[in-house]
């Protein structure tokens, strides 16, 4: 029987025997490099969803240094093994640091999204904004930033604000170099994501 919880301002249905699986495909930020496991945005999200009454299985298909080319292979293997209802994609920053062509990055992300949609999974895309970050030519920043708006236009997916200069360059939110948010940064990412995921679960 369906019951309803009021959680974070949302009426959330709780299915006693729900088989809800959420998969994350990301890099060292999503694995939690430099912070405690319980401080990561993925751990915060998992705890928040369970507190709202959902019996959810989380799978973290993330790895340090992950780029979209590797993640594409991971996504295909993911659906050979599991049937996630929601896939959170948080990728692109390592490609940018490696100066991979934005055209190539977009192609990889498109194929990942297409794989998810083919298997009827809802996609949540983490948006990355390189504006103002050192080490990138303005033309590269512009082309890279356009990847995410283009994907949002072309595919029926949701998005959240994942990374920008405020999370990768400001000292009090920065852990190691200019590439890894600290615990406060993970909290901000979680805040950007949590209501969106609950709304999808409630749809």
Output the pLDDT for position 2.
32
| pLDDT at 18 > cutoff 80 | no
Residue among 198, 192, 202 nearest 41 (CA): 192
For the chain, what are the domain ranges? 20-201
Percent with pLDDT over 70 in the chain? 85
| Predicted confidence (pLDDT) at residue 6 exceeds the cutoff of 90 | no
Query: 27-31, 158-162, 181-185, 187-191: which range is least confident on average?
Result: 181-185
Question: What's this model's pTM, rounded to 2 decimal places?
Answer: 0.88
Residue 7: its pLDDT value, please? 58
pLDDT at 14: 46
Averaged pLDDT of the chain: 86
Of 3.40.30.10, 3.40.50.1110, 3.20.20.70, 1.10.443.10, the CATH number of 20-201 is 3.40.50.1110
Q: Following DSSP, what letter does each residue of 68-137 receive, concatenated?
A: HHHHHHHHHHHHHH---SEEEEE--HHHHHTT--HHHHHHHHHHHHHHHHHTT-EEEEEEE--TT-TT--
What's the rounded mean pLDDT across residues 29-38? Answer: 91
38 versus 3: the higher-pLDDT residue is 38
């Amino acid at each position: 029987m369906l019951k309803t919880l009021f959680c974070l301002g949302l009426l959330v249905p709780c299915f006693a025997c729900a088989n809800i699986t959420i998969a994350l495909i990301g890099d060292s930020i999503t694995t939690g490099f430099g912070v405690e496991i319980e401080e990561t945005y993925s751990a915060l999200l998992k705890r928040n969803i369970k507190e709202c009454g959902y019996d959810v299985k989380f799978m973290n298909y993330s790895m340090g240094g992950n780029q979209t080319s590797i993640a594409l292979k991971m996504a295909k293997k993911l659906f050979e093994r599991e049937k996630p209802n929601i896939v959170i994609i948080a990728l692109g920053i390592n490609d940018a640091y490696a100066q991979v062509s934005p055209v190539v990055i977009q192609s990889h992300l498109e194929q990942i999204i297409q794989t998810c949609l083919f298997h009827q999974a809802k996609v949540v895309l983490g948006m990355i904004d390189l504006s103002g970050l050192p080490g990138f030519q303005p033309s590269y920043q512009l082309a890279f930033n356009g990847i995410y708006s283009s994907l949002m236009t072309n595919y029926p997916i949701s998005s959240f604000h994942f990374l920008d200069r405020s999370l990768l360059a400001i000292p009090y939110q920065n852990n190691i170099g200019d590439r890894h948010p600290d615990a406060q940064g993970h909290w901000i990412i979680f805040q950007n994501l949590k209501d969106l995921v609950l709304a999808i679960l409630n749809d």
